[in-house]
Structure 1
């Protein structure tokens, strides 16, 4: 078989035992991976980026055999049952990224030789914020929030090690908790403002994929993983029916006039079942859509805005209108009041501050009108 030319970095071609050509990803410090998609396709591009980011599930990456009793062995057993990592694929992928990075650095070490002081040293290293090179340029890595999340996942990992009798006590649970300074606590993804929504609309007109994507997320309050699966078949009697990918909760939401306008403005899509179709005429993958929407935001000059920030904008809008927590949860699909509390708290603070200052102003004017000096 002739060797392919112009293969991406770290990718090689080989013939399997059936004589079929296969593409393999090999990079120092990472498990060897094998591509499912054909070279040059959108799916191949998504898989390749996932390999580079070391964020692919075990079903896609073939984990190399680990020495028994090592961190790599522990992680392989831990990853073997995805539900151990979380209730949804979204959560599971996040856990794999965090624990996988820990395994990549410490995989050869024996589990029974890890003490709390070793874990504290690893977490202390994670506390330092640095800039690292990625396929999409330099990005920040580490910091208090990253260290806190690492300790949380290590506690769960070593709890599993105790159950497997690979270690007697949990060293991560004995390690000091990470205290995140108030001024360094993450507020998560940026919440879109009304000016930013208007700016995006001005740049991306009705009838474009970019505009429909924004309106879908803004007027349903759903995550990108749900927006990319929505189609006309989900709309009945003026309502759009959603089964959330994260958690599996079913929702029935009224279709806002603004969303309907964006749907109707789109050119005919033939037999496609999804509203949003990529440049290859196929439905988006979750990761592919995130990168694509990131580029649409950049085109509109909104470099700090993201798809998830639109979900937060929907919550912000409802909170500012004084929407009750139960009604907000009926739209977003959140289960607990504390998950939406910070939106209502911010909105309530603004309303109460407005009321208080307005009352003070009226009080002073009333005293002045009757000739009483303030402060007497």
Structure 2
């Protein structure tokens, strides 16, 4: 076995690591100790990369022939598009996710000519993705998956137009993915204040479950970032966060409520470099943390609540306090107002409407008062 893997390399094949060259380019190498480092010449995710990997892994075996994609096919388009990882996203995590989506699209259709892909074909592919398969944590497909696939295909075929492989974008002309009638989705459930209180009542200070909830609630970060946080990182009362998904760097103040939960933890359940550790004393992965936290929610009588829904609750709170979009994004690390709007749609409509109408009423009264003063002034003149 390859032993424990660094967090930066956990999505790569066994024995493969990445580094940044002096020119700022990301490169990959293979090393199975005690052997030497062997550097890849091909692009991650391509058939040529896989052939190199197999050759490094089995040096005694005859090298597999590297097959080039037929010109004008989806295989060629995908290989060219993914040859620059930055096209897929700003971080390694996002790049891995988009690669998985596009490789799934490639399967069974890679040898088809790009020029023959129609919007009707895209409609059928996306409609098929709408159907959920599997059970539990291994489900695939669904509304979100279909929307994500269509979004990435639009980007892929935009590239195909620039590469002069096609004249128009069939994915852009395809039907938008609509929520089925009677099934309007707000995504993950946004925690209410009552649910936050219920969770706290069940999981008291001094438990990992309580600290996990307070970390998400007060930092508003994804589980992939929360599992990397530790006491030793705190500087001048702030936690540094370098978001896995976006690459954004944030400094977040540590409020008293979170500090109280940190201090209450028994030493055996935490360590200076990682607030949250498993029962075996190891840091959580984002996947194991998500499953573990879900069980904590179920134990508190909140089976419909999730870590992501708690993150939405923090944004809901800020929206109800009428904080600006810029202020909210300074905490969440989001870049787009459009994305932010989806997270804060569960803000208390009644409270916000009361505030808006109160402000309108006060504004109208001030106008009436000004008119009255001007009238009196005119009569006295």
Q: Same fold (TM over 0.5)?
A: yes
Asked if structure 2 preserves the Cα contact closer than 8 Å seen for 1:216 and 1:227, the reply is: yes
- SS of structure 1 residue aligned to 2:244: coil
- Structure 1 CA distance for aligned equivalents of residues 259 and 176 of structure 2: 49
- Displacement of 1:246 in angstroms is 3.0
Question: Within the alignment, does 1:102 sit opposite 2:101 as a pair?
Answer: no
Question: Within the alignment, does 1:68 sit opposite 2:78 as a pair?
Answer: no
Q: Displaced runs of 4+ in structure 1, greater than 6 A?
A: 64-67, 355-358
- Displacement of 1:343 in angstroms is 5.9
Cα deviations by residue, 1:110-142 (Å, 9 ceiling, x for unpaired) = 434323332233233334x44x224746x4733
- Structure 2 CA distance for aligned equivalents of residues 135 and 262 of structure 1: 31
Residue 307 of structure 2 corresponds to which residue in structure 1? Answer: 307
- Structure 1 CA distance for aligned equivalents of residues 147 and 114 of structure 2: 21
**Cα 1:206–1:186 shift into 2, 3 Å:** same
Residue 152 of structure 1 corresponds to which residue in structure 2? Answer: 151
List runs of 5+ in structure 2 lacking aligned partners: 3-11, 17-43, 52-65, 359-381
- Structure 1 CA distance for aligned equivalents of residues 352 and 273 of structure 2: 46
Matches within 5 A, 1:121-200: 121-127=124-130, 129-130=131-132, 132-134=133-135, 136=137, 139=139, 141-143=141-143, 145-180=144-179, 184-200=183-199
Asked if structure 1 preserves the Cα contact closer than 8 Å seen for 2:277 and 2:283, the reply is: yes
- Displacement of 1:182 in angstroms is 7.6
Cα deviations by residue, 1:72-113 (Å, 9 ceiling, x for unpaired) = 454344333321111123433432343232222433434343
List runs of 5+ in structure 1 lacking aligned partners: 1-20, 23-32, 38-56, 359-376
Asked if structure 2 preserves the Cα contact closer than 8 Å seen for 1:67 and 1:108, the reply is: no
Residue 114 of structure 1 corresponds to which residue in structure 2? Answer: 117
Residue 361 of structure 2 corresponds to which residue in structure 1? Answer: none
Q: Which piece of structure 1 moves more, 328-337 or 177-186?
A: 177-186
**Cα 1:81–1:183 shift into 2, 3 Å:** farther
Asked if structure 2 preserves the Cα contact closer than 8 Å seen for 1:234 and 1:242, the reply is: no
Question: Within the alignment, does 1:85 sit opposite 2:84 as a pair?
Answer: no
Asked if structure 2 preserves the Cα contact closer than 8 Å seen for 1:319 and 1:343, the reply is: no
| Total equivalences in the alignment | 305
- Displacement of 1:166 in angstroms is 4.4
What is the Cα-based RMSD across aligned positions, in Å?
3.6
When normalised by structure 2's length, the TM-score is 0.67
Matches within 5 A, 1:1-376: 35=14, 58=45, 63=50, 68-69=69-70, 70-127=73-130, 129-130=131-132, 132-134=133-135, 136=137, 139=139, 141-143=141-143, 145-180=144-179, 184-268=183-267, 272-341=272-341, 347=347, 349-354=349-354
- Displacement of 1:218 in angstroms is 0.5
- SS of structure 1 residue aligned to 2:240: strand
